[in-house]
Amino acid sequence: MINYKTATLEELKIEFKRLSKQAGDMPLGTRKEFYHLPAILEDDEIPLAVAAGLMGGNTWLITLTDRRVIFLDKGMVFGLKQVNVSLADIVSVSSRTRMMTGSIILNTTGQVYTIENVMKGAVIPFTNLVNSACERLNTSVAGPAATREYPLDPAPMEMIIQLEKLASLKERGILSDEEFSTQKARILAM
């Protein structure tokens, strides 16, 4: 794991190849986007994989990190387009493959991002990596206690129902204060 903020150009080239292999892709024409990535990443953010494809007629580098999916399109001479999609905002990830290429579709609650012309060999691995990262994030946010099932204890509910009935009897004058107190103590002692 390299420090992207202080990495040399040579270290970034090696890391680009490593991350490309994670998804089974060798993104063509997106090196300038990758070299711009250190300026975008947060200090402790970890890139997991990269792929390339077309979105809106332009070639974009798609970078999966441990927190988000980053779409980068750096112009030929100047300009930069950047889209960030938090893993927590991703509702679903799907893919389609054709003869040589495929598409990756990221769905959020308000937007659909379709990346076309992704190398066929990278479509399913990248989709699976995004799904895994989303699951890891959801598990870590929810924590182990959220996934644990606790059996519901019916005793407190029954106790509340009995106390409500008892109070109703007292209000209607059927039970005296002394009888109410005795019965209440008996129910609470259970």
Instruction: Please name the amino acid found at residue 120.
Output: K
pLDDT in tens, 52-91: 899 988 889 899 999 999 999 987 777 889 999 999 999 9
- CA dist 4 to 18, 35, 143, Å? 14, 9, 29
pTM to 2 decimal places: 0.67
Are residues 140 and 158 located together in one domain of the fold?
no
Residue 2 lies in a domain: no
Domain shared by 132 and 181, yes or no: no
Considering the domain boundaries, does residue 77 fall inside one?
yes
pLDDT digits (tens, 9 = 90+) for 95-143: 999 999 999 999 998 899 999 999 988 899 889 989 888 888 877 766 5
User: What CA–CA distance (Å, rounded) separates 175 from 19?
Assistant: 77
H helices of the chain, where?
Answer: 9-23, 31-40, 120-147, 154-171, 177-189
Whether 50 and 140 share a structural domain: yes
Quick check: 71 and 62 in contact, CB under 8 A?
yes
What dihedral do alpha carbons 22, 23, 29, 35 form, nearest 10°?
-40
User: Could you give the number of structural domains in the chain?
Assistant: 2
Residues 116 and 70 in one domain: yes
Task: Give the structural domain span for 85.
Answer: 9-144
